[in-house]
Structure 1
């Protein structure tokens, strides 16, 4: 009920006029005149403090503020200003608790302590050193936890004192160097050396004597620790010894972490905490490392000294343990304790005994510690314990493999016989060879010997055959299938799935045909079976290598094939029908009456016959433009690749030729002289067609195309009677790279002709309508250098002198 009354009073306080003082806000009832922009930072801080004291948020009082006449705009401004106060901490508690708006929590302040970790490579094997070398570990106290009730106050601490209710007071009060806190209107109160709990009661009593509402219960007092003082501690014998300023909440482990832990020869088990020049506590870090016990991690006080003495004895544990390393031992501890520090043996350790290398006053000596002595042997300074691996051998292993149902490794026991092991392996398989099994036995000198047993007698109860076994015996039971030769049969020809097949006894030819998917549609009724000849004697008169069987297979009568029994390595060939060829076609395109694809009626059908079937040449056809385009076959490219031109390994002419046939030239052109064929169909130009040929009849073209290394690539109208030069001149002649002497012409039917010369008289081929004149480029030539001309001149001079000399 009291909390509800306080909230209502807070609402009145929040919404008074901006010109009112903070302590007058409680009396306001009309909030329509409130201007948030006119409120000072102190008044905003007062409102925030009241909200905190009553555990109330600004959102909770929004409905009541709007009901009292405050506009939504002004309330939004108030929320913004209160939010900025929460974020910046510019209120009267700026020296105390700081509110973290992102996390929604208060953070206690503490001076930042920075410590740079130094990796101890020399002491890295010492058990416990990793605790202080790891920069990710941190023993800093958590400042967000509640203040311990036994925390002792001292100079440098700071208290947050709040009075809330009817009367209010809020301030951050430091503990002075004299150990006192100064509270306005109350005076100075000594708190140094008191616990936070005792100091809280003393301060509340002092405030109650001044604030009457505190004594009556109308106001409450809240006291918290807002700033932690730092204390000075000294660390001796650490990796980084010296004086450290640390939090008054810090513990021994925190200080040891800052100092980097024990030094090179420092003890991890006899660390002394000195307070007032006396040993206050001895710290054993192994209690924490091994058991997680933090009873030694006591809190520190100002001017404490942490002394790390030199170790008294260390031992080394190597080999098959879970945590090998260097360990510090206390007086009275045994090897069993050392083993616990190392987390025990690993799974490969030999645990019957441990070897230890000891140091005497003169030399070294070796001692073996039996398992029974682990709890009594007390390690000596410098001992090196070595835990070895177990042997890679078995004390009771026996193996059976081969034709049994469960071949495996089994445990051996004294008196075990071959029948016992077979029974453990669930007996012999059906294919087991029972006449003989082999036992490979390891002798005492680790050499092996073989023994044999008749399993048939063993299973029949023969006690003499049922021999005793020894450990490490390997029993092999053979299978009759191991002695069987792997026979194959081959079938080829007009069969759907040709290839090799497994041979089985009594396999007939009919069975093999079915297994191979049956015959194809092109298969004839003739089937040939080749069988190898087997004989122990050589017959010089018979040179035959195989025996041939010719069989006939028909759907009506196939008894011969059905009853023909095959033998190993037989080769079956199903012959193809003498006449079985699918219709093959050629294509006719261009200036014919009926273009399209035509089936070759015979193997010797010629171009004249097919064009006649296509309706003959049309009225626009070029009689000189009939040609055949024949696809280049793969075997032609293969033939070129297989020819050795002796051009050398690095010469690319042959490779370029093959590549051109594969990629650039898809077909070869066969020129046709249609005029001769029409006059005489038996003329040699009436060529026989091949499947895939394309007959192309070009349309009559009254122009001549000139291309290549000419000034202007163009088509010139055909002028009857004009020659080669006329058309070259019509396009401006050749360019600088043009090679006129090597110019050639391509006729409409694909035939080509080149220019020729006779007694310095050059003649050019005849030009026909639809032809194409091509002028190639001149090949690039390299001019000889001056030095090369000089060399040639020298050679000629030498030859001339030689000739003159020879005629003298």
Structure 2
């Protein structure tokens, strides 16, 4: 039993110093047994918090730790652990630091009610901005002039040969109680004076302090909360704030001055006396924070009502409502408004004043700005400068630098032309004009000879006036814009500019040359000009017939062209590129075939394709012919007198453009084989596709039937047989309008005579289609009654007529 107790005591003795040293690295006197590897993360955090509370870094603590017996290798490990623990626990360390610093103030929510009556009061926006709250930074070093009081807490440390560290609050009596030293009165003195007082007191107890072997450090670890009262603010009341807070911070918490509160005569009352009068405009205009003084407990901030306000509108940089003090002038007000903007008329301002009975208007000249004192309620309007120039003159036209220039008295036309760097080569030198603004704001025109004015002749070198517009014309302005037209077999036909000495060769090269289909025939039509009308000569244009070499852009005989000539390059009489048709389906050699002559027919092309195969359906030969754009255009041009918004023609046009890509021509191949001159042997066109269907023994039934299906062909069976084979028509099926499409594309529809109905014959490969019944609007009871009334009236009329 004794052995067990001995082991426990040794264990406690070995590990207790480790824990104590981990908790207080600075207070321990012997660190020779400290093993960093045995420290937990919480122990390292405690050491880091201890260093931060003493405003020390790990580098500053190194000499102290080594002096207390800690090895350099163990200290290096400790430094690494502190760095890594700090990175992984940054948020925890920040929270611990905030907790240790203790510099907090009660959070006040600023829900200011904006001045709705005068929203443009200068300075009101200062207390509406949450990012500009003037809140003191509680993390900064303690100001040396900070005055201590009850509620503050001091961190007193002795380091060096002797060690001491404690957080000591200032009691309600204004004293701090230090162990072994006693009570020291610190209330009402600065932190600097308190530090000296505490150092002297501790020197009497700690001998190494007086000898300099140990140092005393005093810092503010917790700041007290003070009470201030705000009167006349948007949110008046008592506020608990930090003892480091200032007047502006308190005003922000109170929402700033109220609706009628002054921004320039705010009173800070201390001990029932006006300690300072605060003018917020010093900060707003100049950034001067001299009035932003610190607060003390039980201070009162009183915001009286404003004495006078004036309104500034118009061309100033910061229009709004401004508060004025007695003796301030319009120049001071202009400073508050940041001065005139670049468009302001600064020679005078217009002021609308209020008298005891009515309004009156006053104009204040620029010379009175430093003497005129605005009155409460003044509305000052700053107008824009006039849209006119006192010394502007303009030159335009055929000069090198047409523009506006400054006018000076005694300026002549030649001076302005010289300022514009002279006239251009194309200038019309016989006449220039001056458009002049007269005194009654009407305009007149003054002409001059440009050449003589430049030569210095006094009569032509006219004296200019302000706002004159001088125009120098160009000879190109008087020349008609000549054009020439070329059409026909050239690469880029169209209308082109005409130039002097332009020839046919020049024009052909300009348009990219002749096409391969150009013939040797060229016609040039030239307009006929005459001063007199010749009734006997009806000719409107002169025609020139020219022969050229189509394979050469440079002609031997180069014809000279004139303005507005129309050149026509004719096409060769025979110049047709080979056209092709396509053969597909049950033929031996399907593919594309060229049309040898203009009257190639179906039989010839199929024979060239090797004829029909044994699987071909001779009842299924047809031609698919593409619908040409001209066919659609012809349909659009037809007026069927159905109205502009008729849907029938519109649907037909849309169907041709978007749905139908080709038209089907059914062929009777048996008739063609018997007689090649039969009408069924049609002439082919480019793009045609001859399609030969493969023999199919089925009959497809589709549309409004119960079951869309393909029924095997049974010779002799009727149309109704195949409809019944798919279950008959459905409720929407229109049986009497059923139709059949044969393999060659031909269609047939059911017909009726009296009470007899006949259906088309069914062939192999056919398709039977049952369309949908159109929707028919049934007549209402009222409509039937109306019809009955009309019939009754007619019957009565007839009976009356035959009596």
Q: How big is each residue's C-alpha offset from its partner over 1:169-199, in whole Å with a ceiling of 9 and x where there is no partner?
A: 4433222222122233433222111221122
| 8 Å CA contact retained: 1:755, 1:762 | yes
**Alpha-carbon distance change, 663 to 158 in structure 1, aligned in 2, over 3 angstroms:** same
Equivalent residue runs for 1:488-527 within 5 Å = 488-527=483-522
Question: Could you tell me how far 1:252 is from its partner in structure 2?
Answer: 3.1
**Alpha-carbon distance change, 804 to 431 in structure 1, aligned in 2, over 3 angstroms:** closer
Distance of 1:784 and 1:122 partners within structure 2: 69
| 8 Å CA contact retained: 1:15, 1:30 | no
2:448 aligned residue (449, 453, 456): 453
Distance of 1:380 and 1:306 partners within structure 2: 27
Question: Could you tell me how far 1:310 is from its partner in structure 2?
Answer: 5.3
Distance of 1:365 and 1:713 partners within structure 2: 96
**Alpha-carbon distance change, 42 to 641 in structure 1, aligned in 2, over 3 angstroms:** closer
Q: Which residue of 2 aligns with 1:635?
A: 630
Question: Could you tell me how far 1:263 is from its partner in structure 2?
Answer: 4.9
**Alpha-carbon distance change, 656 to 209 in structure 1, aligned in 2, over 3 angstroms:** same
2:611 aligned residue (616, 633, 645): 616
| 8 Å CA contact retained: 1:15, 1:25 | no
Q: Which residue of 2 aligns with 1:155?
A: 150
Q: Which residue of 1 aligns with 2:219?
A: 224
Question: Could you tell me how far 1:581 is from its partner in structure 2?
Answer: 0.4
Distance of 2:355 and 2:800 partners within structure 1: 106
Equivalent residue runs for 1:670-681 within 5 Å = 670-681=665-676
User: Is 1:49 aligned with 2:50?
Assistant: yes
Question: Could you tell me how far 1:806 is from its partner in structure 2?
Answer: 6.2
**Alpha-carbon distance change, 356 to 671 in structure 1, aligned in 2, over 3 angstroms:** closer
Q: Which residue of 2 aligns with 1:3?
A: none
User: Is 1:99 aligned with 2:97?
Assistant: yes
Question: Could you tell me how far 1:65 is from its partner in structure 2?
Answer: 8.8
1:426 aligned residue (396, 421, 429): 421
Question: Could you tell me how far 1:400 is from its partner in structure 2?
Answer: 1.0
Distance of 1:141 and 1:256 partners within structure 2: 13
SS of residue in 2 equivalent to 1:510: helix
Q: Which residue of 2 aligns with 1:351?
A: 346
Distance of 1:69 and 1:248 partners within structure 2: 40
User: Alpha carbon RMSD of aligned pairs, Å?
Assistant: 4.3
Distance of 2:19 and 2:554 partners within structure 1: 122
Distance of 1:310 and 1:248 partners within structure 2: 28
Structure 2 residue runs without a partner (length 5+) = 1-12
Q: Which residue of 1 aligns with 2:175?
A: 180
Distance of 1:773 and 1:556 partners within structure 2: 60
Q: How big is each residue's C-alpha offset from its partner over 1:323-368, in whole Å with a ceiling of 9 and x where there is no partner?
A: 3444445555444444333333332333344455666778766655
**Alpha-carbon distance change, 186 to 449 in structure 1, aligned in 2, over 3 angstroms:** same
2:531 aligned residue (533, 536, 554): 536
**Alpha-carbon distance change, 517 to 13 in structure 1, aligned in 2, over 3 angstroms:** farther
Q: Could you tell which deviates more after superposition, 215-224 or 458-467?
A: 215-224
Question: Could you tell me how far 1:436 is from its partner in structure 2?
Answer: 0.9
Q: Could you tell which deviates more after superposition, 111-120 or 471-480?
A: 111-120
How many residues of Structure 1 are paired with residues of Structure 2 in the alignment?
Answer: 781
Q: Which residue of 2 aligns with 1:321?
A: 316
Distance of 1:487 and 1:85 partners within structure 2: 85
**Alpha-carbon distance change, 176 to 639 in structure 1, aligned in 2, over 3 angstroms:** same
Q: Which residue of 1 aligns with 2:5?
A: none
User: Is 1:657 aligned with 2:658?
Assistant: no
SS of residue in 1 equivalent to 2:649: helix
Question: Could you tell me how far 1:401 is from its partner in structure 2?
Answer: 0.9
Q: How big is each residue's C-alpha offset from its partner over 1:265-312, in whole Å with a ceiling of 9 and x where there is no partner?
A: 555444444434444334343333333333333323333344445555
Question: Could you tell me how far 1:396 is from its partner in structure 2?
Answer: 1.8
**Alpha-carbon distance change, 65 to 16 in structure 1, aligned in 2, over 3 angstroms:** farther
**Alpha-carbon distance change, 184 to 701 in structure 1, aligned in 2, over 3 angstroms:** same
2:395 aligned residue (397, 400, 406): 400
Q: Which residue of 2 aligns with 1:117?
A: 112
Q: How big is each residue's C-alpha offset from its partner over 1:77-131, in whole Å with a ceiling of 9 and x where there is no partner?
A: x969x96996597xxxxxxxx5049xxx956233334443232244544444443
Equivalent residue runs for 1:596-745 within 5 Å = 596-710=591-705, 713-725=708-720, 727-728=722-723, 734=729, 738-745=733-740
| 8 Å CA contact retained: 1:510, 1:561 | no
Equivalent residue runs for 1:152-551 within 5 Å = 152-164=147-159, 168-211=163-206, 214-215=209-210, 219-263=214-258, 266-309=261-304, 314-330=309-325, 332-355=327-350, 369-377=364-372, 385-551=380-546
| 8 Å CA contact retained: 1:284, 1:296 | yes
Q: Which residue of 2 aligns with 1:577?
A: 572
SS of residue in 2 equivalent to 1:669: strand
Distance of 1:420 and 1:69 partners within structure 2: 90
Question: Could you tell me how far 1:498 is from its partner in structure 2?
Answer: 0.9
Equivalent residue runs for 1:762-781 within 5 Å = 762-780=757-775
SS of residue in 1 equivalent to 2:546: strand
| 8 Å CA contact retained: 2:22, 2:47 | no
| 8 Å CA contact retained: 1:262, 1:268 | yes
Distance of 1:51 and 1:297 partners within structure 2: 31
Q: TM-score, normalised by structure 2?
A: 0.85
Distance of 2:22 and 2:611 partners within structure 1: 120
| 8 Å CA contact retained: 1:591, 1:697 | yes
| 8 Å CA contact retained: 2:622, 2:664 | yes
SS of residue in 2 equivalent to 1:623: strand
Q: Could you tell which deviates more after superposition, 233-242 or 674-683?
A: 233-242
SS of residue in 2 equivalent to 1:99: helix
